[in-house]
Structure 1
Amino acid sequence: MKISQWKYPILVSTLCASLYAIPYMLDNPTSEPEYEGTGNEETSCPISIRVDGITRPVPLEEYVARVVMGEMPVSFPKEALKAQAVAARTFALRTTNFGEKSIKPTVEDQVFSAEKDVPKVVLQAVNETNGKVLTYADELITAMFFSTSNGKTESAAAFSGYEIPYLQVRDSKEDEESPKFSAKKTFTLDEWNALFGIPWNEAQIKAIDLVRNSSGRVETMKANQQEWNGRKIRELLGLPSTDFQISLKDETIVVTTKGYGHGVGMSQYGARGLALKGKSYEDIVSYYYPHTTLQNFQGVAPACLKDSLPDNTSK
């Protein structure tokens, strides 16, 4: 597969980290990975991934399996796991420039699981998509993904200002089944004032004006003679999403949210819902990454997954 130089900007790294790491970290405290390899590091693999904090390079397909473990519940339907494997593989190859650069093992890039046991269904999902990647105009795409939408995905243009053909608003109603679909946080007026660093009163809270984009997420918050970007409010308040409502009840500020994550690309709970409806992984990635092509990347050897994990796979 011929891969050209990147025509479209990579949106992840610092942008993504600042937008969704905060709520993720609250639910998922992280520590340095303790992955020690598979015991068969002499396996000859065309591409290995260097993961920050891990001494030995990880064969690409094993890396993909461990990202699937780290990023998506293994109880999800296999077709959803396969879609995650394709996204993870594509993301890793693009982010590392085919293994030349290292990658972070956290939400800043992709969560890498250092657990010893790799579930059989995860290995099957990776094996059955071996070498599959997503491209647009003969280049690997920026395969962004997230947990749960508010019912629609976010466009790259709304997220970063860059128009990218394969990162557009998509309906994702299946996300309503996610346990993270809705949430609520409360603040006292004193807590609110401390976070913003300026004084507010109840009348100003009630007068807040939320300007939304086409996906229903807050683009701008206007209040107290000032304006804030919706993503800035999400970061400031530690919200799981930029789709939020603000109300005042019994002198308490109530912020309700829909969705979990930045909203760009593939919704993991949306992928689950589509898989439960009988959609294949090809259907899923085609839906969430429109105008892309599913191709075979030739720099992958099946043995780099099968032979490298002979004894530490769970049923």
Structure 2
Amino acid sequence: MKAIKPMIVLFIAVAFVIIMIPAVLVLPFSSDKTSGKLDEQLEQKAKEEGKEVSTNEMSAVEVAVYRTSAKKIQKLPIESYLAGVVAAEMPADFEEEALKAQALTARTYIVDQLINDNRMGLPDGADVSDTVMHQVYMNNDELKKQWGSDYKWKMKKINKAIKETQGQILTYNGKPITATFFSTSNGYTENSEDYWEAEFPYLKSVSSPWDKDSPKFYNKMVVNAADFEKKLGVSLSSGTTIGTVIERTSGNRVGVVEIGGKKLTGKQIREKLGLKSSDFNWERQGNQIVITTKGYGHGVGMSQYGANGMAREGKNYEDIVKYYYKGVKVQSSSKWMNTMTAKK
């Protein structure tokens, strides 16, 4: 009997080990997985870090685009809309990180537009137009016509930028920003309050030296003196003097000009004469006014050629947007997408 007991104990111990080891190996990996908790935790972590929103969530939100030429409304998933915006707004041969920065600004713009319900100047049922009034948008047929044989590789590159920033937007104090952008600066971006009345803490003037390599950095325009007077509502003297710049902005653009006793802002002059920028110089040559501008666009927010220059130096898209928009965060659009989906 004494010899049998140890054998029984050994048998029981071996059996216990054989039964329990698989359970010990499986349990730590199965409990969360089978209940779905692990997937939820990973998804939540991704959202908190500003990563992708699920494809189903993104496709559930549509954008109603008013096609101005056809005078009809086209509805499409938000990410498809963004591909058409990035393709129309930024050259596809730009660096990938610049295209990602553009995708981020474009997505931020449309999310902000959708949640704020600002439909001024739009027909009923439209969320945005396809013009610079909102964001320029082109569909696949229009892009194929414009790009020809380059369509496939350009669209592939743009879709990659859209996918790799999927669901991400720019926020300030927990809200989507007004993500303005433009083509080329004069070497500096502009404070929002220096061009528009509204002041945004994240739209502040920064140096943008990369823009000097832009083919749009300089532009020359010739205006007939009579047209110049008519468009600006001024009277020119008989001499060569046109006006005096009495104020410049933080971005070194023309703030205020006095012409024959009348004061006009640089913005007013740019818009009335159709200038590329509000950083301009002019001289009178007989009956003609020769105007030279630096930069292309309003100058507020992200410079597209500046973004491309930063990308060429090795900066990523987050570096770019955080340089041009001060104090912002790259955040998931999940909660805003959920709100928009719930409205349907």
Structure 1, 200-209 or 237-246: larger mean CA deviation: 200-209
1:200: which partner in 2?
236
From 75, 81, 88, the counterpart of 1:57: 75
1:136: which partner in 2?
172
1:158-173 equivalences in 2 (<5 Å)? 158-173=194-209
User: Structure 1 207/298 Cα, relative in aligned 2: closer, same or farther at 3 Å?
Assistant: closer
**Partners of 1:50 and 1:221 in 2: how far apart?**
41
**Partners of 1:165 and 1:72 in 2: how far apart?**
25
User: Structure 1 197/282 Cα, relative in aligned 2: closer, same or farther at 3 Å?
Assistant: closer
Structure 1 gap ranges (5+)? 3-41, 302-315
1:177: which partner in 2?
213
1:256: which partner in 2?
292
1:189: which partner in 2?
225
Which TM-score applies when normalising by structure 2? 0.71
From 235, 257, 267, the counterpart of 1:221: 257
Tell me the number of residue pairs that the alignment of Structure 1 and Structure 2 aligns: 262
- What is the SS of the residue equivalent to 1:83? helix
Amino acid at match of 2:136: V
Which TM-score applies when normalising by structure 1? 0.77
Amino acid at match of 1:104: S
**Partners of 2:299 and 2:329 in 1: how far apart?**
21
- What is the SS of the residue equivalent to 1:287? helix
Structure 1, 158-167 or 227-236: larger mean CA deviation: 158-167
User: Structure 1 202/208 Cα, relative in aligned 2: closer, same or farther at 3 Å?
Assistant: farther
C-alpha distance after superposition, 1:93-129 (max 9, x if no partner): 1012188961111100000112335610001000000
C-alpha distance after superposition, 1:209-255 (max 9, x if no partner): 35211211111111211111111111111101110111123553211
- What is the SS of the residue equivalent to 1:282? helix
C-alpha distance after superposition, 1:180-222 (max 9, x if no partner): 1111111232332332344323426345335211211111111
Identity %: 39
1:114: which partner in 2?
139
Amino acid at match of 2:324: Y
Q: Is 1:74 aligned to 2:92, yes or no? A: yes
- What is the SS of the residue equivalent to 1:109? coil
**Partners of 1:160 and 1:145 in 2: how far apart?**
14
- What is the SS of the residue equivalent to 1:125? helix
Which has the bigger relative contact order, CA under 8 A and spacing at least 6?
A: 1
User: Structure 1 98/163 Cα, relative in aligned 2: closer, same or farther at 3 Å?
Assistant: closer
**Partners of 1:254 and 1:287 in 2: how far apart?**
35
RMSD: 2.5
